[in-house]
Amino acid sequence: GSASAGDEIALIGINAAGDWYKMEAKSGDSAWIFAALVTVADAEGLAALPIMDGTTGDVYLHPMQAFYFRSGMGQNECHAVPDTLIIQNSGDHPVNLQINDLNLVINSTILFTSTTLDDGTVVLVGTLIEGTVEAYYEAFTLQLTQPGQSFAVTLNADGLVDENSELVDITGNLDIENDVAAGCQALAGNPVWGDNIPPCEGLTITYSFPEPEPPPDGDLSDIPDDAACTIVALNTANLRSGPGTNYPWNGQLAQNERENPTGYAIGTDGLSWWKLSNNLWIRSDLVNQAGACNSIPSVQPPAPPPISAPPSGGRTYEISQTCADMNNIRAGQTVTFQVGIGRWESPEATNAALAGHSARLNAFARL
């Protein structure tokens, strides 16, 4: 093909002598052009071009181009180097890959290998070298963010990940010096490993699939900040028909049970209450919350239940800071007590009012 005067072309390589540029043609193929015929607008970009040999048919991968790779692990073993596959990208943008049907989002460098358990199960193992990696398949997902973290996933009889696979974080289960046969002949004498690690037949890893520890009570660390507001009971908590303890009791929320509230209101006790989807209410200090709870709307609570009138026919005694005459109470009589000195507005006021007085009410009835 040819390029006309004034055409802008994308350079993808340069030969060792620097007198020929490899360019991406309009057809999507690549071609070479004599350097003296081109004016380069980006000197820094020119210096960063890879050196290519025009006689070897260098492969250029276009952006967003898909490719398949077969490693040949297990074939033609190289006894001096562990059987591993390292994948690296620039770290500027994540790369989506599939390895044995396991979906991966890689942002920098990860090392892969495989091994076989005693029962014949083949396991794919990934170790993060730099950056981050997310591994997922349908319902399960796992993210590594720290260098040295590792995951393992079991493969089916076809060597693929499926719905029966187990994906676990095995960080800490890898004993590099004893379990990973990194002391191959090529590394013998390396001061990092020492001289006494025997040669190996490829790379083997010892690990297990431990039972995950249950999360602590009230844990909501798995709820993202932008997810639906979620609450979890710290202990078994009462549910009521309205926001206040003067509303009827209507069941309980079990410890660690979760709900998605639909509203909130200030209760008759002055505290915040969450309204649940079943129109029951739970006090906010009895739960932990996570997600977009600030977006939950304030709602109008139901009218509080009426206060029952005191039974008729009895005597009413007022509780105050002075003793009341209760010498005439008889067995079988109805007696009503009412607060006579008002409500204290703070703990400090309460302590001041009760100073020197008993906080216990003793009532004695003459039989």
> Distance (Å, rounded) from C-alpha 310 to C-alpha 192?
85
Largest CA distance in the chain: 121
CATH of 214-308, one of 3.30.160, 2.30.30, 2.60.120, 2.40.160: 2.30.30
| pLDDT the model gives residue 183 | 33
Give the chain's residues under pLDDT 50.
Answer: 56, 64, 73-74, 76-81, 175-210, 317-324, 341, 358-360, 362, 364-367
pTM, two decimals, is 0.33
Tokens of 88: 């690296």
Identical fold, 1-62 and 214-308: yes
> Distance (Å, rounded) from C-alpha 112 to C-alpha 88?
11
| pLDDT the model gives residue 275 | 96
Residue type, 241: S
| pLDDT the model gives residue 189 | 37
| pLDDT the model gives residue 289 | 93
| pLDDT the model gives residue 69 | 55
For domain 1-62, the CATH class is: mainly beta
Three-state DSSP class for residue 351: helix
Domain ranges for the chain: 1-62, 85-187, 214-308, 310-367
| pLDDT the model gives residue 87 | 79
What are residue 293's phi and psi, to 5 degrees? Answer: -75, -20
Beta strands in the chain (DSSP E): 10-14, 20-24, 30-34, 85-88, 95-99, 102-116, 122-137, 140-144, 150-154, 167-169, 230-233, 237-240, 249-253, 258-259, 263-266, 272-275, 281-283, 287-290, 315-319, 335-339
| pLDDT the model gives residue 175 | 47
Q: Are strands 335-339 and 315-319 parallel, antiparallel or unpaired?
A: parallel
| pLDDT the model gives residue 130 | 83
